[in-house]
A and B are shown apart, each in its own frame.
Chain A
Amino acid sequence: MSASQLVGAETAKDLDEPGRGTSWLRYVAMKAGGSLFSLVMVVLLGFFAFRILPGDPVRSLADGRQVTAEQMDILRKQYGLDQPVIAQFWRYLTDLFRGNLGDSYTYNRPVMELILDRLGPTLLLTGTAAALSVVLGLWLGQRTAWRRGSMFDKAHTGIALTLWSVPTFWLGLLMLLIFGGTLHWFPTGGMVTAGSTATGLAYVWDVARHLTLPMLTMVAVVYAQYLMVMRASLLEEMSADYLVTARAKGLREDQVRRKHAVPNALLPTVTLIFLTLGGLIGGAVTVETVFSWPGLGYLTFQALSAPDFPLLQGTFVVFSSIVIIMNFFADILYRVLDPRLRTA
């Protein structure tokens, strides 16, 4: 290449031309690899963490009953607890691959079956609560940011932060007391009325009535974080130069907000939403317990009070896997939303 070619008019244009980034396949493979590694760690932790816990499961199983040493040995043998830890671990791994999480001590049923039974109610509760709080939080977040300093802003951030700082169980009990106990507007526990044989719409109506209080409790506690993050990231975007460009072009104020500011402000919020969705299911433990909601959280609570190791192991692995999978989705979605990541 001669010197004059080197410094042609196009030099600078080509010199600092940014290159294309990694391919989709590569990106997904990388993120999936990372998630898989986390899952393996969870499986390992799930086994060993519960072995370190103090307490002899067989003794607590037999708690309050007259049992002979022989009977204890039989129980140990039945659950494989007489074998060395390494052998137990091997069995745990091979079973896990076959989708078998062992048998619950307290329910005498396969853990997998129990978890699948309870997964539906949990997904129903956390799904509706998450959807509602995300919509509410993001909507209020952008309104408060756009009208920063107004009464609307002050009132809403105030209310949201108060609810956010209230203990979940306390708020749940208060709701129970007022709307369930005193006013009798809603049932106080469970997912369906005991002994009810309703089907079709009547069944849906019954579940919806039972769902209302636990769901509202969850929404009240978590929507604040969506509001605050959306508000903060929109405030940050509001001084951005490209909004001046948009205004100069003649866009209306609400178009400037909807078409330019919000899409950018949503980026950090999306990650947070997915991170908290996983956490929300974990947080269901308190709400489900307070409202006797027959979900995974309630199951975990019961497993903890036993303690029922296979069941705890099972719920632990399921909860953690949900969080990891949610993070994986967040990574993928973030790349879809933010073109800059595609070349990063």
Chain B
Amino acid sequence: MPRLEFVDLSVIYRTQTTVGPGELTAVDGVNLVVEPGSTLGLAGESGCGKSTLAMSVLRLLPANTRTTGKILLGEENVPDLGWGRLRAVRWTEAAIVFQGAMHSLNPVRKVRDQIGEALLIHASGDRAKYKEEKVRDSRVAELLKLVDLSPAKGNSYPHELSGGQKQRIMIAMALACEPELIIADEPTTALDVVVQAQVLQVLGDLVASRGLSLIMISHDLSVLAATCERIVVMQRGKIVEDGPSAEIMRNPQHPHTQALASAFPLIGDPASRLRLPSYAAPEPSGTTSGGQAQGHANDVVLEARNLTVTFGGRGGATNAVDNVNLSCRRGEITALVGQSGSGKTTLARTMLGLQRPTSGAVYYDGNPLKHRRKDLKSYRKAVQFVLQDPSAALNPKHTVYEAVAEGPRLHKLPGDEREIVSRALRRAELNPPERYLATIPQELSGGQRQRVVIAGALALDPEFLVADEPVASLDASVRADILALLLKLKCESGVGALVITHDLGLAWNIADRVVVMYQGKIVEEGPVEQVLLDPQHEYTKKLLSVVPTAQVAADLDGAK
């Protein structure tokens, strides 16, 4: 069984910038050994070089890269292999499970053929029998069964499968030629927590039962800890920490590891409750959920009453939102939790007046929301929203100034426009504002972009924010900062928020109340501590069972 070793490996991208050709070192002098049969987690933020490192194993990097150093797969140095030998090595000695369940399969070919193709091109020597279609088909059926899919699913096209099913197809494909090393590049990132757990289970079991080596790449330390013995943390192309999983999870040494760990707080851990590395809610001012509830018991600002939203279809209508009652109080953060398809985004869109309810109504300050242009306009001044992906939410051609000034201009806010914009940017912690006014989104980092979106909302001085997965597209360290900003806005300016998320850790970090939604219905709601520490509904329990909690961490420690 081959051993994989990186010896002083560097990967350099040639880039084309405005000032001429440049170079970017993605992987910087990495030394790493993966022993046969071991499982290794590779952690880091986007751009840290972890995917580049993984791709270099099969020499899949784009043409504008240069590598120095050695990648020893068994006895062979991958950079020195001839093309023919390289193609033979690909998939037979090491195979990759790619991230994009969405995009990594060819959309116009049946998944069965795509799995079979891997068998066919390597049908020589021991595998010569796969030249026969019948043998190949039975092998594909066998592989599908391995990943808990019925062989009939093989006749599907990728778009006919769910995200989790596609990812399991990718795993089946990776196992086709019985490689001894599996590289899984963010295999579950785009998936829901529950599906994620299922896919990790399948992958973990297969690797363990076959004694394969596994390199798993993720930005989520808890995912790695669940499947790998050892975790390596990368930052800016270098390895900054390397150790056994339990050790890294319990006692991270490097500041970057700590930042990564903080992004996925342990639910039930008081150290992360209403507390983030860069900001903690002030203790005495009654910001705990109990105090808040007393202070604003009747101060409901935004409310949904018997709200139902039905989407028609030939196959019968679906209730995306099914008779939901939800109230958000002034100066309070409510987390709306559920997996994709639970109707949480539809509920948020309806509460923003972007979607008409089929029945029921949204109430703002006790008055029903009307869908007339004028009414909506004044409503939108008071309730602003923050979208998931700041890169998509900002017009790439508009400067930050334009993006933030648009709202005040539309609503004809009194006062100096420049002053309003600067104040909004300052509140979103883009300091000093002058530095950002003339920049365009492309020149900003992901976190800065999300701050600009938030500044655009704050410019109208809203009472309430509705945020749809505000940190889902952001890196771990940036996530904490944006959440800190939301928490600070609540504590210091009294801006309440309804935060839609699939991330229970987010609720634990900043929310006062949590509402759990499942199949269009609210199945559980209450103060964060109550719901997350003592869940009543089966679905909440299920969600909690697949995220790191203080309970699990304690068990882990106990086992040591």
Residues in A lying within 8 Å of B, measured CB to CB: 3-4, 6-7, 9, 11-13, 15-19, 22, 240-242, 244-252, 255, 259-260, 263-264, 267, 337-340, 343
Contacts and interface: CB of A to CB of B under 8 A. Distances in A.
Nearest to B313: A19
Contacts of B6: none
A250 B96 CA distance: 12
Given A13-B195, A241-B104, A264-B107, A339 B538 contact: no
A255 B122 CA distance: 14
Interface residues of B, number: 51
B417 interface: no
B194 A12 contact: yes
Contacts of A12: 162, 164, 192, 194-195, 198, 339
B531 to A, nearest CB: 15
Of all A-B residue pairs in the complex, the 3 with the closest CB atoms, nearest first, are A250-B90, A339-B157, A3-B538
B160 A246 contact: no
B209 to A, nearest CB: 19
A244 B122 contact: no
B526 interface: no
B104 A244 contact: yes
Contacts of B104: 241-242, 244-245
A337 B170 CA distance: 23
Interface string B480-520: 00000000000000000000000000000000000000110
B162 A245 contact: no
Interface of B: 58, 60, 87-92, 95-96, 98, 100, 103-110, 117-118, 121-122, 157, 159-165, 170, 173, 192, 194-195, 198, 314-315, 339-341, 518-519, 523, 537-539, 541-542
A142 to B, nearest CB: 16
A240 B106 CA distance: 9
Given A12-B194, A244-B104, A264-B108, A250 B98 contact: no
Contacts of A263: 106, 108-109
Given A3-B537, A242-B106, A245-B98, A250 B315 contact: no
Contacts of B95: 248
Nearest to A240: B103
A244 B60 contact: yes
- A4, A244, A267, A343 — which one has the most chain B CB atoms within 10 A of its CB? A244
Nearest to B88: A250
B96 A248 contact: yes
B100 A241 contact: yes
B418 to A, nearest CB: 41
A6 B519 contact: yes
B106 A9 contact: no
A19 B316 CA distance: 12
22 contacts: A3-B537, A6-B518, A7-B539, A11-B542, A12-B164, A12-B194, A15-B162, A15-B519, A17-B162, A18-B159, A22-B314, A245-B98, A245-B105, A247-B60, A249-B173, A250-B91, A250-B121, A263-B108, A264-B106, A267-B108, A340-B107, A340-B157
